[in-house]
Amino acid sequence: MKLGFIGLGGMGQPMAGHLLAAGHQVTVWSRRPDSADSLLALGARRAANPLELAACCEMVCTNVTGNADVAGLAAQLLEGLAPDGIHVDFSTIAPSVARAIAARYEARDRHFVDAPVSGGTAGAQAATLAIMWGGKAALAARLDPLFRCLGKTIVRVGDAGAGQVAKTCNQLVMVAAIEACAEAARFAQAAGIDFARVRAATLGGSAGSRVLEFFGGKMVARHFAAGVQARLHHKDFAMVIDEATRMAVPLPVASAVMQQLDALMAAAWGTQDTSTLLRVLERSGRHSLAD
């Protein structure tokens, strides 16, 4: 297929690389031209701007930061895509924003698919991402070859915006679990018990989870370098709280986690891993896993 890719960060670069490796013709555009260099060396083509990129592609992928970024790109891509062209957005944005963009595309006989992913940079590099997508069921046959290059778990959740609803639910559960791990680590240390042993014991029990294994392990090792930067989870939770307020849906646990993420950002730790939530708790007491 003739594919376009915009958003060549830690996730986008390996994703675009997998598409090239599968034999697709990939055209890229980036606000930072040098971020495309490694892909150009693999055979990608460079477009001068998003409009030019869309005009030469049957399907365009984006993976950028937030609502405004996606909406701004969509306005340009919509002008370049041919009728029946598809814009697949892998970003995490508000469901309401995804639905609004999809409606504008449908009015012009183009398609917008929200397909947020979970799995982090490791999943992007290994092509094992979980892809949760929203859009017309009739598009599945065209999308499947693309998604199979990038992910291991691929689920159409529903119509436009449904993928973002699923990603919101993913973030609610995951980040709340990271905070729970941090609180368990803080509690164990305050009680004079090695959290490494507590974690080893609980991994085999009903609290065992990927979050406890991965993020709990980072807390034990005090390895706070980012897999996914905490500022992105802060952005996601701010968006979730805004959407929930608009829908009058109470999210008491998420609201408490949001306060901890706010404190993390205030401490200038936004570029660290979200396991840094442990350090937020440690600031309020005498005990530290490093003691």
Which residues are catalytically annotated? Answer: 167
Angle between helices 230-247 and 252-266 (to 10 degrees): 140
CA distance 173 to 115: 19
Residues 6+ apart with CB under 8 A from 177: 209, 211, 212, 215
Are the C-beta atoms of 210 and 181 separated by less than 8 Å? no
Burial of 47 (0-12, 13-18, 19+ CB in 10 A): buried
Query: Terminus-to-terminus CA distance in the chain, angstroms?
Result: 56
Q: Which helix (H) or strand (E) holds 49?
A: none
CA distance 151 to 140: 15
Angle between helices 162-190 and 210-221 (to 10 degrees): 50
Cβ neighbours around 272 below 10 Å, total: 18
